[in-house]
Structure 1
Amino acid sequence: MKGKRKLVAAAVGVGIAPLIATALPGVANAHGYVSSPPSRQAQCAQGWVSCGQIKWEPQSVEGPKGLRSCSGGNARFAELDDDNKGWRATRVGRTVTFTWTFTARHRTSNYEYYLGNQRIAVFSGGNTQPPPTVSHQVNLGGVSGRQKVLAIWNIADTPNAFYACVDLQVG
């Protein structure tokens, strides 16, 4: 009888642990990043570039809307802002398809894409929850050579956005 109670208690503990973990404040249980072409955080997650904590949570580069940094202003992920870290640049033409992968799908205001300080594309999210992946075809204009695109997922139901920088070799 005593052994059976221990087994039941262990099973209950295993069953409710994920519920407790997602309910605790401060626990990251979201969100999304550009998986293709591989963003800087995707490169970290793949082990292509040596990074810190972002290796384990590429989907967590979240910060207030309106920023223009790869880290989303998050000090834990500041290395994403370092352009000299050895990021791999994906060879592309003048038009690129960016694919977002989501681990928690917030209602979406829009997606923005920047080259330098210039917004080159914006796509409406329709104030709806996206599917597990979303792709956008973006025209890079007349640029060539090595470029860094900042992709931003603006959330409709929070004051935050998710940020991802993608290094490209255009031409």
Structure 2
Amino acid sequence: MKANRKLIAGLTGAALAPVLVLVGPAGIASAHGYVNSPASRQAQCAQGIVDCGAIKYEPQSVEGPKGLHSCNGGKAEYAELNDNSKPWQAASVGSTVTFTWTFTARHSTASYEYYVGDEKVASFDGHNQQPPETVAHQVDLGGHPGRQTVLAVWNIADTANAFYSCIDLQVG
């Protein structure tokens, strides 16, 4: 009787191990942050506005080394975020825009940066503190009228990585 219980326990463990391997990394990968307002490209993917690949399920996971200027954070699996031919909806905004980040894991923050092309248009100090669940920044885009793609970067304080979000706007 005891031998049967051990055999059943062993078989159950062997059957569950592959499931835990598949589920475990997804839980780890699903925790970070992105700009949800105005809707970033990954937010548009998650909402089904634009047809995208895997980023639809993990809009908060566009993480890569600090210093990049790409919408996909250097991740090949999110390359569609760099594709300007996709039908990204551009939010109509005035010259000052409020960008709202949503976080699923609140890493200590070095800074937030905003770029139009290679020009840094705003930077905010994160004071090496954990942010609340959402953070909003007002950015003056008055010098950049018309259709623009803003790159928003969340620089993590205690790693060499950052999180990236591109937001399409019609400024003015």
Q: 1:141 Cα shift?
A: 2.8
Match of 2:171 in 1: 170
3-state secondary structure, aligned to 1:141? coil
How much has 1:27 moved relative to structure 2?
3.8
Q: How far apart, in 1, do the equivalents of 2:74 and 2:85 lie?
A: 18
Corresponding residue of 1:142: 143
**Distance in 1, Cα, partners of 2:43 & 2:30:** 17
Partners of 1:79 and 1:30 in 2: CA distance = 21
Counterpart residue number, 1:161: 162
Residues in 2 aligned to 1:51 and 1:165: alpha-carbon distance in whole angstroms: 14
Q: Which stretches of structure 1, 4 residues or more, deviate above 3 A after TM superposition?
A: 23-27
Other-structure match for 1:120: 121
The range that moved more, 136-145 or 81-90, is 136-145
How many residue pairs get matched?
A: 156
Cα separation, 1, equivalents of 2:41 and 2:78: 11
Structure 1 length as normaliser, TM-score?
Answer: 0.85
**Counterpart amino acid of residue 39 in structure 1:** S
TM-aligned CA deviation for residue 24 of structure 1: 4.8
5+ unaligned residues in a row in structure 2: which ranges? 1-8, 14-19
Percent identity at matched positions? 69
Residue in 1 that maps onto 2:91: 90
| RMSD after superposition | 2.3
SS in 2 for 1:60: coil
Which position in structure 2 is the counterpart of 1:63? Answer: 64
Residue in 1 aligned with 2:3? none
Larger radius of gyration: 2
- Normalised TM-score (structure 2): 0.85
Gaps in structure 1 of 5+ consecutive residues: 1-8, 14-19
